[in-house]
Structures are given as C-alpha cells and as structure tokens.
Amino acid sequence: MVESDPRRSIPRTDHLLALPEVVAAGEHLKQGTIKAIISEVQTAARTGEIPVAEVAPTIISRLGSRSASSLTPVLNATGILVHTNLGRAPLSTAATRAITEAAGYVDVEMDLGTGKRSKRGAGAKAALLRACPAAEDALVVNNGAAALLLAVTALRGSSPVGTASASGDSARNSRADSEPGEIVISRGELIEIGAGFRLTDLMTTTGARLREVGTTNRTHLADYAEAIGPNTSSLLKVHTSNFRVEGFTSAVDVADLRGLADHHGLPLIVDLGSGLFTPDPALPDEPDIDSALRAGADLVIVSGDKLLGGPQAGLILGRTEAVQTLAKHPLARALRTDKLTLAALEATITDAANPIHDALHIDPDRLRERTETLAEAVGATVVEHDGRVGGGGAPGVPLHGWAVELPEDCAHALRAGDPAIVARVHQGRCLIDLRCVPESDDQCVAAAIGGVLGPRHLGDNG
C-alpha cells in the first residue's frame, strides 16, 4: 500500500475558524487578519516547515501573542543613541503620554473659546519659540528631508528675505523671470545619508540646479561670491553631520555668508541635520539652532527625532518672512505633520529630560558600576567601549564607556529573545553597552544573557 501524504490531513480553514480560541480572538482581531494567519500556518505545514499536528496549536499561539502591530520592542544595547534601524530617538514618558492623550478627538485646529477654526500646531510652535528665542517664527513638517524640500522649493523665485543692497535689488529683478533657480552650495557639503539617499537628488527634484563651489576640503567666501548670478535663488549651508573632513580644510561660516546674502538679496538656508537648540558641552563641535540664527541664517532646518529626542519631524525656525513663505506654499499642505507628532514634539520640548539627553549625559561612574554588576551576574568580563550619537550626529565623537563582552554568537540569540536585546557585534565579540538601556531593565538583560549562556556553561561544566 502507498503511504498517505500527511499533508492531506491539514485541517480545513472552516474547521480552524471554528476552534474556540480562534473564535475568541475574533473579539479583538479582524477576520481578514485571522484568516491570513491561518493561511500562513497551513502553507508552512504544506511545505514541511511544521508538522501537520502543530497547525492548530501554532495558530492558537500566534493569535494569542498577536500585538497591536508587527513592530517588536527592543532594548538597545549597542551604545548608539540615535540608532536609525531601531527607530532613532525613543520618546520620553511625557511624549508617550501626550500621544495617548492626542489619540482621540483633540483641538488640533479649533479654538475652544470661540468654537472657530484655529492654526494647526500652535502649541508645538509656541514651545519651539520658547526654546529658541532667536527664532521669530517656526514651522513643523513631517521630517528633515521634507523641510529642506519645502525650503528650496518655496524660496526659489520668491522675494528675497533679509536686507538687500542696491545691487541686491537689481539681482532680485533679474531673477524674477528666471527659471529654474540655482542653489549655491559647497562641494564639501554634498551629502549622502543612509540607504543611498542624497540631499542633492532631493533638491534637484524641485527643478532647481545646484551650483557647486569650492573643493571637497576647502571652500572660501570668494567661491560663493563668484558663483552668484541672475539665476541664483538661495545660499545653502549643510552641516556634514555624518562624516568629517580633517587636515587641510576651510569652510565659510554662517556669519560671513550672511553678509554675502544681504549684498545680493538672497535667502540663506542652514541645514543642521541633528542640531541642538543651544550648545552642549558634551558635543562641543556640534552646531546648534540658536547660534546659527544669531549668526544670520534666514532658515535653520533640523530633525526632531535625533538629538532633540522627539518624534520624526522636520523643524524649520527662522525669520518670519522666510518661514511664512514656506507655510503659505501649496507643498506645505502635503508635508504637514499629524496631531500625534505635534503632541509628542511639544511634550519633548517642554519636558526637562528625555532618553537621548539622559544617555548623552549619563553618569560615567554609575554606568561602569551597572556594567560591572551585569558582568558579575552573568560571569563575563567588562571592556572599555565607546558609544556614538548615531543618526548622523557628531560623527567620530566617542562617548566613552564600558560594555560586557560575550561570545559573538550570543548576539543572534539575544535578538530572538523576549525581550529582544540588540547588542553590538564587533571584532568577533558581542558587546552589551548599557548606556541606552533603562536601569530598570538591567536585571532583565542579565536574565536574558544567563538564558543564552546557560547551556554553554553547563556544557563547560560537564
């Protein structure tokens, strides 16, 4: 007799849907979601990935552990504060609470006193202006790239901002009918960020042309001056946030560019990437919004989800005329952010601390003490380890600290655990850096490492 194929006995969909546990799951999951899970498990049984006998138990298990989204919370033990692959900045308790409060109906565009429509994001804007008094106005869009896109689009062909000289008035009149506009930028500031995304490509999608000046390592004020012509629409300075050029170098600061912009009646845009509100002693070479505005920038652009420690957002601060030019442009509607981001951003700005700030300014003695305690608990060793800001912030600046050293193959098991722990794999080692791990989770990390090392230790003892 020919042995029957066990795949023929895979339970039918209607039988699986009738299981009491599956019926109960229908109280909080849509039928489409349940059927998709059933289909995935049935397919796994057909391909031999799981035994046929495990079809029903697997479905019940998946439905029981199903979370609100497919995203898995992780503990960041890499020592990288703004880890792009892990969602960049973790939100503060205040920001998380603000999102929950804003999840329902809120007065995002209503004046409750009059019952009439109001300006969107007034609270976040007010918080930005309080945090940065040098700014006359502010605008929030959905990310940093969107902010730059809006700026170069809206200011191309618009009336210049700032104070123009007589020659500037002439240049303005000459540009009035000129299309497309030219953006003058140093060659040393032509940046490619993660996943092959180039700021240059973003800007040229607006129809503008880039007028590159200087060289990779040295650019002078005269280079900018020689490049300005009747088609010039703006001067752009971009902080090289994800790399450093060292040695024989020269760059033009914002104050010098301000004088040139005034002479020609041009707007000056400064993209700081992960810029701070004000200078931070922990990152002495990282530019900040306040200093750039006081030096004369018409617009300063930063990301909300980097050193600020907030949600993904593009923050635009600067002179009222320039900001309002952007706010009134039709593209601003397509790039505007939602109520949840506005709520989280306002809470981040007004709260005293957040996880990024805390990790950057962590007490080194306490960090070492925690690391040694963890190492002792799991029977491992402590090594010196430099963390990083990450996310394009403070490139090459080490954040001195320590890590627990484990065998390299522990990294995969820790990522697959519950909770998932992401460590740094470097030079054949798995390194656990507690800088970005909440201290309340230290015991949890120790238990997870113990679970991974347990069988290995038992084998050694045997």
**DSSP single-letter state for residue 6:** G
Per-residue pLDDT tens listing for the chain (462 residues): 445 677 778 999 999 999 999 999 999 999 999 999 999 999 999 999 999 999 999 999 999 888 778 899 999 999 999 999 999 999 999 999 999 999 999 999 999 999 999 999 999 999 999 999 999 999 999 999 999 999 999 998 554 444 444 445 444 444 444 456 899 999 999 988 777 788 889 898 888 899 999 999 999 999 999 999 999 999 999 998 778 888 999 999 999 999 999 999 999 999 998 889 999 999 998 999 999 999 999 999 999 999 999 999 999 999 999 999 999 999 999 999 999 999 999 999 999 889 999 999 999 999 999 999 999 999 999 999 999 999 888 888 999 999 999 999 999 999 999 999 999 999 999 999 999 999 999 999 999 999 999 865 544 544
Count of the separate structural domains present in the chain = 3
Q: What residues pair up with 63 in beta bridges, in sequence order?
A: none
Q: What residues pair up with 245 in beta bridges, in sequence order?
A: none
Would you list the DSSP string of 43-78?
HHHHTTSS-GGGHHHHHHHHHHH--SSS---EEEES
Q: Is there a domain that residue 390 lies in?
A: yes
**Last residue in a domain, options 351, 381, 400:** 351
Helices (H), strands (E): how many in the chain?
Answer: 19, 14
**Do 277 and 383 belong together in one domain?**
no
Q: What residues pair up with 265 in beta bridges, in sequence order?
A: none
Contact (Cβ atoms closer than 8 angstroms) between residue 304 and residue 314: yes
CA distance 219 to 266: 19
Pairing mode, strands 116-117 and 314-318: unpaired
Can you tell me whether residue 425 is helix, strand or coil? strand
Q: Which amino acid is at 4?
A: S
- In whole angstroms, what separates CA 82 from the centre of its chain? 7
Look at residue 4 in the predicted model and tell me its pLDDT. Answer: 65
**Do 381 and 282 belong together in one domain?**
no
Nearest to 235 by CA among 273, 188, 286, 186: 186
**Do 29 and 134 belong together in one domain?**
no
Q: Is there a domain that residue 2 lies in?
A: no
Contact (Cβ atoms closer than 8 angstroms) between residue 385 and residue 398: no
**Do 316 and 444 belong together in one domain?**
no
Look at residue 457 in the predicted model and tell me its pLDDT. Answer: 57
**Last residue in a domain, options 307, 324, 351:** 351
Nearest to 456 by CA among 430, 421, 419: 430
| Both tokens assigned to 292 | 């750039």
Contact (Cβ atoms closer than 8 angstroms) between residue 40 and residue 63: no
CA distance 269 to 234: 7
Look at residue 421 in the predicted model and tell me its pLDDT. Answer: 98
Look at residue 1 in the predicted model and tell me its pLDDT. Answer: 44
Contact (Cβ atoms closer than 8 angstroms) between residue 293 and residue 300: yes
Can you tell me whether residue 7 is helix, strand or coil? helix
**Do 331 and 365 belong together in one domain?**
no
Contact (Cβ atoms closer than 8 angstroms) between residue 212 and residue 185: yes
CA distance 399 to 212: 34
Can you tell me whether residue 150 is helix, strand or coil? helix
- In whole angstroms, what separates CA 98 from the centre of its chain? 19
Would you list the DSSP string of 186-199?
EGGG--B-GGG-BH
**Last residue in a domain, options 302, 330, 351:** 351
Look at residue 274 in the predicted model and tell me its pLDDT. Answer: 86
Q: Is there a domain that residue 251 lies in?
A: yes
**DSSP single-letter state for residue 235:** E
**Do 251 and 387 belong together in one domain?**
no
Q: Is there a domain that residue 118 lies in?
A: yes
Look at residue 106 in the predicted model and tell me its pLDDT. Answer: 95
**Do 174 and 250 belong together in one domain?**
yes
Look at residue 70 in the predicted model and tell me its pLDDT. Answer: 83
**Do 287 and 403 belong together in one domain?**
no
Q: Is there a domain that residue 441 lies in?
A: yes
Q: Which amino acid is at 12?
A: R
Look at residue 214 in the predicted model and tell me its pLDDT. Answer: 96
**Do 287 and 376 belong together in one domain?**
no
Contact (Cβ atoms closer than 8 angstroms) between residue 102 and residue 347: no
Whether cis (ω within 30° of 0) applies to the bond prior to 180 is yes
pLDDT digits (tens, 9 = 90+) for 398-408: 999 999 999 99
Look at residue 275 in the predicted model and tell me its pLDDT. Answer: 81
Look at residue 30 in the predicted model and tell me its pLDDT. Answer: 92
CA distance 275 to 239: 9
pLDDT digits (tens, 9 = 90+) for 178-193: 456 899 999 999 988 7
Pairing mode, strands 182-186 and 209-213: parallel
**Do 232 and 319 belong together in one domain?**
yes
CA distance 411 to 190: 36
- DSSP run (H or E) holding 325: helix 320-327
Look at residue 197 in the predicted model and tell me its pLDDT. Answer: 82
Q: Is there a domain that residue 26 lies in?
A: yes
Contact (Cβ atoms closer than 8 angstroms) between residue 423 and residue 431: yes
Q: Is there a domain that residue 1 lies in?
A: no
Domain around 29: 12-65
**Do 244 and 390 belong together in one domain?**
no
Q: Which residue has the tokens 């046929």?
A: 52
Q: What residues pair up with 388 in beta bridges, in sequence order?
A: 80
Count other C-beta atoms under 10 Å from residue 100's C-beta.
11
Contact (Cβ atoms closer than 8 angstroms) between residue 91 and residue 343: no
**Do 105 and 55 belong together in one domain?**
no
Contact (Cβ atoms closer than 8 angstroms) between residue 79 and residue 422: no
Q: Is there a domain that residue 457 lies in?
A: yes
The sign of the torsion formed by the CA atoms of 180, 185, 190, 193 equals negative
Q: What residues pair up with 383 in beta bridges, in sequence order?
A: 403
Look at residue 170 in the predicted model and tell me its pLDDT. Answer: 46
Contact (Cβ atoms closer than 8 angstroms) between residue 231 and residue 178: yes
Model pTM?
0.87
Look at residue 181 in the predicted model and tell me its pLDDT. Answer: 86
Contact (Cβ atoms closer than 8 angstroms) between residue 332 and residue 153: no
**DSSP single-letter state for residue 160:** P
Q: What is the CATH number of the domain that holds 153?
A: 3.40.640.10
* Sheet with 381-387: strands ordered across: 74-77, 420-426, 429-432, 399-407, 381-387
